[in-house]
Amino acid sequence: MREVDMLTGNAAAAWAARIADVDYIPAYPITPQTEIIETLASWISQGLMKAKLVQLESEHSMLTAAGTASLSGARVFTATSSQGLLYGFEMLYNIAGWRAPLVLVNVSRAVAAPITLEPDHNDVLAARDSGFIQLHAEKCQEVLDLILIAYRVAEDHRVMLPVIVNMDGFYLSFTREPVYIPSKTDVEEFLPPYNPPHPFRAGRPVVKGPAVLGGHIYAYFKHNIHESLLRASDVFKEAAAKFREMWGRAHSPVEGFLLDDAEYVLVVTNSFTSIARKAVVRLREKGIPAGLVKLVMLRPFPSPDIVEKLRGRKAVAVFDQNISPGLGGIIYNEVAAALYHVKNRPETLLSAIGGVGGKYTTVEEFEHVFHMLMHPEKTQPGKPVFLFRADELAHVQTALRLAGHIGDEA
């Protein structure tokens, strides 16, 4: 096995499942995640993996099979995207309620209508209240690393909850980057065999997901899931420390970039983080104290880590690659809630929405957001700023003109 290879994000996810020695892969194809399943199927057919891969008739069946197999004691991996995630949505809540610690890779893609294949985060953020842990990757290496860490966190008996590892469709799923692939022997040291506390076994009945009435028992179980999710943050940090000890790469729920003396900070997540970093570097070269905070963990929401990195800053912008119609950016509102009780919270908190439906966000657009932070008097508090360039507006106007919705003079 080569230690470093040029891999797409999808291939990195497949490699993670392979070296994690998963037992069962229920699957259903959907762009842009299909390459993951095709790669795993090819390896299994060649005898390179011992796992059982089964194509189900839908994502709902796929997730049902994933959850029940996990309860039997199998280490389960699966993947989906966008409409597929929503088609199986009911089962996300069941899997979390069953405490089935599988790993699901979501390759983000905007949700129809109108239909597109390009990414935003409305699909994965729709699942933020399901009880799944959520980890979001910026680079292909992080896809592989976070899947390995995800299994260790999910299967920890203090947590016992499923994990979604998210990557952006196209921007990461089909982009090749150098990826270090750990040896399977080393991974076995980091990730011992799954040891389910109460597996299904013949002759030893176990109840999972029973009907409960009256509310109090339901509330007890929901609170239990909430407490377990909160513990996942510390368990993630323990796993990340072991990961760094073995392979030298650091991961944390919230990461900072050029933060030491930063007065103006951008909060961002997933693949657009790489473009935002370039904006921060260019502003630093001009003497502007800019910095960046990247959210790796979205559930549990790492409020204490976010507060630690944002308190005392002059102004903060939150970049949302999603939109909650009628509200604005989803992550902006969660960051605002985290900062609400902080005495020395930033004077300005700006919501910037971009990258929806795969709309490319340029370095100049991120620089524009920082300039708005330096001149907050030109913004309206609480009102999100939609990033949309003049050339993009011209393209939209051309399309509307062709459709007969506007005249030639517009």
Span 182-194, average pLDDT: 95
- If DSSP codes are grouped into helix, strand and coil, which group holds residue 108? strand
Distance CA 13, CA 19 (A): 10
Chain segment 293-345, per-residue pLDDT in tens: 999 999 999 999 999 999 999 999 999 999 999 999 999 999 999 999 999 99
| Rg of the chain, C-alpha, whole Å | 22
Encoding tokens for residue 355? 């990258």
Q: What confidence tier does 410 reach under pLDDT thresholds 50, 70, 90?
A: low
Chain segment 195-240, per-residue pLDDT in tens: 999 888 888 888 888 899 999 999 999 999 999 999 999 999 999 9
pLDDT computed for residue 321 by the predictor: 98
In the predicted model, is pLDDT for residue 1 greater than 60? no
Distance CA 9, CA 175 (A): 6
Distance CA 347, CA 291 (A): 16
Distance CA 373, CA 314 (A): 9
Q: How far is CA 339 from CA 253, 256, 311, 343, in A?
A: 17, 17, 8, 9
pLDDT computed for residue 44 by the predictor: 98
Domains of the chain: 3-247 (3.40.50.970), 254-394 (3.40.50.920)
Span 162-167, average pLDDT: 98
Share of the chain above pLDDT 70, in %: 99
Query: Dihedrals φ, ψ of 405, to 5°?
Result: -90, -20
Neighbour tally for 34: CB within 10 Å: 17
Q: What does the mean pLDDT of the chain come to?
A: 96
The amino acid present at 95, given as its one-letter code, is I
Q: How far is CA 377 from CA 51, 89, 109, 368, 404, in A?
A: 58, 42, 35, 15, 39
Chain segment 264-303, per-residue pLDDT in tens: 999 999 999 999 999 999 999 999 999 999 999 999 999 9
pLDDT computed for residue 265 by the predictor: 98
Q: Name the nearest CA neighbour of 120 among 75, 169, 72, 159.
A: 169
Q: Is the pTM of this model over 0.95?
A: yes
pLDDT computed for residue 374 by the predictor: 97
Q: How far is CA 254 from CA 137, 158, 177, in A?
A: 12, 21, 23
82 Cβ neighbours under 8 A, 6+ residues apart: 30, 108, 109, 110, 111, 112, 123, 169
What are residue 328's DSSP bridge partners?
324
